[in-house]
Structures are given as C-alpha cells and as structure tokens.
Chains A and B, each alone.
Chain A
C-alpha cells in the first residue's frame, strides 16, 4: 500500500498513491472548486476592458481565495476614497508566481488543460487593464465634479427663492404695520409705553432687511398672496403675541358646527350590539348553524332545513323533494276534481 497522503482538494487522507487523482470523487471535487472560482475570474476579466472606479465602501475589503496558490487575495484595489473593482484579483492573476502555481495545480490534480487558460491573465492583458484603469479614474473624477457643481447650483437656487419670498412679504407689510401699531392703544388701556415701543419696533425691523434685498433679482415660481386682513385675528405676528386677546384661527368654531348635544362615540344601542358580538365570538365556532344568517329576507315559499321522516337522500334535498311532492299532489287533486 502506498503511504498515507492528504489531498487538500478533497480534504481527505487516502492510501491510493497517485491513483487518487484519477478517481471520480476527486475529479468531481475539482470540477466544483473550479466552478466556484470561475465566475470571479470571469468578472475580473471583463473588468480588463472597462475598469470601474467607485467610491470606497467597506465591502471592498473582501478577499478572494485563490485555489491554485492556496492564499487569500484582496479582490478590489482601494486607495483613499476610491476603489478599482477587481484590481487586486487581476494583479494576482497576472503575477508569475500565480502562473507557476497554476501550472503545478493543473499537473498534480490532472484537471482539463483547456480550462487552465481561463484562470491565467497575461501581462499584456494586465497592461491593458492599467490603461483602462487610468481612464476610469479620470472619468470618475469628472463625474464627481459634475455632481458637486449641480448640488451647488441647486443650493444657490433655493437660497435665491427664499430671499425673494422674504422680500415680497416684508414690502407690503411695511405699509399696514404702522396702522396696526396705532390701533393697539385703543384696545389696551394703561400700557402706552409698551404700545409705543411696539410701534417703533416694526418700523425698525423694516429698514435693515430692505436694503439687503434690493440687489436680488426676481425669482420664479412663488405666487404672491399678500397680507390678509382677517377680522379679530391680527397682531399674532407682532412682538407681543396674543396681546390683543384675539382668538387663534384654530380655535374659531366652524360655521357648520351645530352647537349643543353632539356626543362623541357610539350610541347606547350600538354599544349593546357590540357586547352581543363579543359574546358571539366566544361561542364555539363549529356549533350548529354558526354561519346562519339570521337577518336574511326569505321568500314566502321558504322552508327551513328539516330532515323529513319519509325522504330518501340527503337532508338538503328534503326541501326539493317536498316541493315536488306537493306539486304532484296538487296535480292529482286537480285531475281528481276535473
């Protein structure tokens, strides 16, 4: 018997010597292992033509196991913020050690020779990959720049429209504000000093923002509503909130509201019905007639489900039998009469 040897592919010890490699089991294991490795290599090969550069993500740290060399290889090359997809794998596949290891693997495990080529990357291919990588990097940078520019433009737009709104709201308010300020002392006696200060405040507020807004161009899209004069509501926006004692809009009753006995919740009968329903739920579900509809309207000729004494057949057919019998009896009595 040959000395005990361990086959790393089958992960088993065997005593057949060199014969093990030709066995069916070993070949099957070999095929499966190569099948597992092939998709990764194919994906990497595609990347030779069109190298993809992406923003770095922790997933790019993943390592791939190279069957031939028996070592872990970093799949994607990352530097700083960017990653080149499949860069690491390609680099490894092109290296001479990998070539030697692959040859050894193929010879030892007696795999198919045609397959070997697929797992190797020639130095020319690698050079091509490097070129496309450079191109990829350039295009990625361009893309990033474009995105940043777009975002900046958007922010500028939003800022402009906002300032436009502020300006348009302040302009018409500058006229009625002094009027409101003078009406305040009429409703409130004895607090003249406060009123005087409130009169001055809105006019002070107006002057600083107005010169700032002059240089802005008119923006699009917002419809101008202007200052709405709702009776009893004004002075909410003044510095002294609720100063005049006006009711806020949400407390004003709706015109449709019928004052008086509007109780919320179900009425008493509904409550009783709910109680009945709860009790019904507690009853066993497979009781007789559980799905009997008590409130259904039935015709004058309705007969209940009755298993008759002299009927032949199922209970639900008894009704039908009764009807036919009744019809037959009627006909008989008719013929008897006539």
Chain B
C-alpha cells in the first residue's frame, strides 16, 4: 500500500524530489497516512505507479512535517495532489474551484492514469495548464475557504 511509495518527510527532501525528477511528471500527495481518504488515494497511486513508471514519479508527503509547503501550496484539505514537471508546477482544470492541486481521491485507477497522460502530453507541448479528462461527476466536491477566514 503506502509503504511501496517513497515518502518525503522534510522540506529538503521535497526540494530534492522536485529538482531531481527529469522529464517525468512528479506527483506529490500531501496528506496523512492514517486518514481514510488518503488511504484510498494511496492505494490507487501504488497500484498504478509501476504502469506509469516511464511517465510519472509518485511521492507521498506528510503535511505535518512540511509546514512550509503546506502553506506555500495553500493546502487546506487532505489529501491534495500537486503535479510538477521539470521543476515547474502544472495546473489542471478539473471543473473545481482550485486548479493548482487535486483535492480528494480518484474514483478509479483509469481516471488517474488518464490524468497523468494528459498532464504529460501537455507538458511536452509546453503547456502549463491542461484540461482534466476525468468526468466531473467523479471529482470530489469541496468548498474553497478563503485563507483569512
């Protein structure tokens, strides 16, 4: 399950992961290992990680241990998944209010695979924002809180 995917526990490690992933989509899951939704997401991530090994590198980040990134990425709900490519952040329009990250878990493995593929193709073409292929029904709903509230 989640012990198959590499874990990052400090800002330095996250920096290292961002800088070292070359020509592959970097998937950073921000959350806690015990949280049930996180567990679901981690399941999907680990089952697809070998198939996507040529296109993506997946890492799990603990939000309690990297406070800087929790604030920098404005993470208010867990799990949140952020995508990078060659050190550049990739935005995806899921139909949800926040394009910078994916909040919640995926419904099926195929959804995740499709999303990674779309991000990879967009990145190869030089696009920093792509359109999500996932059906809006399958995207978890949440309310985006303004930061000062």
Residue numbers of A with Cβ under 8 A of B are 280, 283-284, 286-290, 292, 294-296, 298, 300, 302-310, 315, 322, 326
Bound together, the chains give a CA A133 to CA B59 distance in angstroms of 95
A304 with B23: CB separation less than 8 A: no
Q: Is B87 an interface residue (CB 8 A)?
A: yes
Ranked 7 nearest A-B pairs via Cβ: A289-B86, A309-B74, A286-B126, A288-B123, A292-B87, A289-B88, A292-B86
A287 with B124: CB separation less than 8 A: yes
Nearest residue (CB) in A for B144 is A309
Q: How far is the CB of A277 from chain B (nearest CB, A)?
A: 11
Bound together, the chains give a CA A314 to CA B100 distance in angstroms of 14
Residues of B within 8 A of A292 (CB): 86-88
Q: Is B47 an interface residue (CB 8 A)?
A: no
Known: A283-B23, A289-B86, A307-B89. A298 touches B125 (CB 8 A): no
A288 with B12: CB separation less than 8 A: no
* Chain A to chain B contacts (Cβ below 8 Å), 30 pairs: A280-B23, A287-B86, A287-B125, A287-B126, A288-B85, A288-B86, A288-B122, A288-B126, A289-B123, A292-B86, A292-B88, A294-B20, A300-B11, A302-B15, A304-B15, A304-B18, A304-B84, A304-B89, A305-B89, A306-B73, A306-B89, A306-B100, A307-B100, A308-B74, A308-B100, A309-B74, A310-B146, A310-B147, A322-B71, A322-B72
Q: Is B90 an interface residue (CB 8 A)?
A: yes
A308 with B73: CB separation less than 8 A: yes
Known: A288-B85, A289-B88, A298-B15. A306 touches B125 (CB 8 A): no
Bound together, the chains give a CA A282 to CA B121 distance in angstroms of 15
Binary A-proximity of B12-32 (CB < 8 A = 1, otherwise 0): 100100111011000000000
* B3-51, CB < 8 A from A: 11-12, 15, 18-20, 22-23
Residue numbers of B with Cβ under 8 A of A are 11-12, 15, 18-20, 22-23, 68, 71-74, 82, 84-91, 98, 100, 122-128, 144, 146-147
Bound together, the chains give a CA A284 to CA B72 distance in angstroms of 31
B89 with A286: CB separation less than 8 A: no
Q: How far is the CB of A94 from chain B (nearest CB, A)?
A: 78
Residues of B within 8 A of A306 (CB): 72-73, 82, 89, 100
Residues of B within 8 A of A296 (CB): 19
Interface core residue of A287, A290, A308 (most chain B CB under 10 Å): A287
Bound together, the chains give a CA A296 to CA B23 distance in angstroms of 16
Nearest residue (CB) in B for A297 is B19
Q: How far is the CB of A335 from chain B (nearest CB, A)?
A: 17
Bound together, the chains give a CA A308 to CA B100 distance in angstroms of 7
Nearest residue (CB) in B for A280 is B23
Nearest residue (CB) in B for A298 is B15
Q: How far is the CB of B94 from chain A (nearest CB, A)?
A: 14
Bound together, the chains give a CA A290 to CA B22 distance in angstroms of 9
A309 with B18: CB separation less than 8 A: no
Q: How far is the CB of A185 from chain B (nearest CB, A)?
A: 74
User: Which single member of A280, A300, A305 contacts B87 (CB below 8 Å)?
Assistant: A305
User: Which single member of B68, B87, B88, B124 contacts A283 (CB below 8 Å)?
Assistant: B124
User: Which single member of B73, B74, B127, B146 contacts A288 (CB below 8 Å)?
Assistant: B127
Residues of A within 8 A of B128 (CB): 288, 307, 315
Bound together, the chains give a CA A250 to CA B18 distance in angstroms of 55
Residues of B within 8 A of A315 (CB): 89, 128
Apart from A288-B86, A322-B72, list 5 A-B contacts with CB within 8 A: A284-B125, A303-B68, A307-B91, A309-B74, A309-B147
A310 with B125: CB separation less than 8 A: no
Bound together, the chains give a CA A263 to CA B20 distance in angstroms of 32
Residues of A within 8 A of B122 (CB): 288
Bound together, the chains give a CA A304 to CA B72 distance in angstroms of 9
Residues of B within 8 A of A309 (CB): 74, 98, 100, 144, 147
Residues of A within 8 A of B147 (CB): 309-310
Residues of A within 8 A of B85 (CB): 287-289
A284 with B124: CB separation less than 8 A: yes
Bound together, the chains give a CA A278 to CA B11 distance in angstroms of 33
Q: How far is the CB of B54 from chain A (nearest CB, A)?
A: 12
Q: How far is the CB of B122 from chain A (nearest CB, A)?
A: 8
Nearest residue (CB) in A for B87 is A292
Q: How far is the CB of B130 from chain A (nearest CB, A)?
A: 10
Residues of A within 8 A of B18 (CB): 304
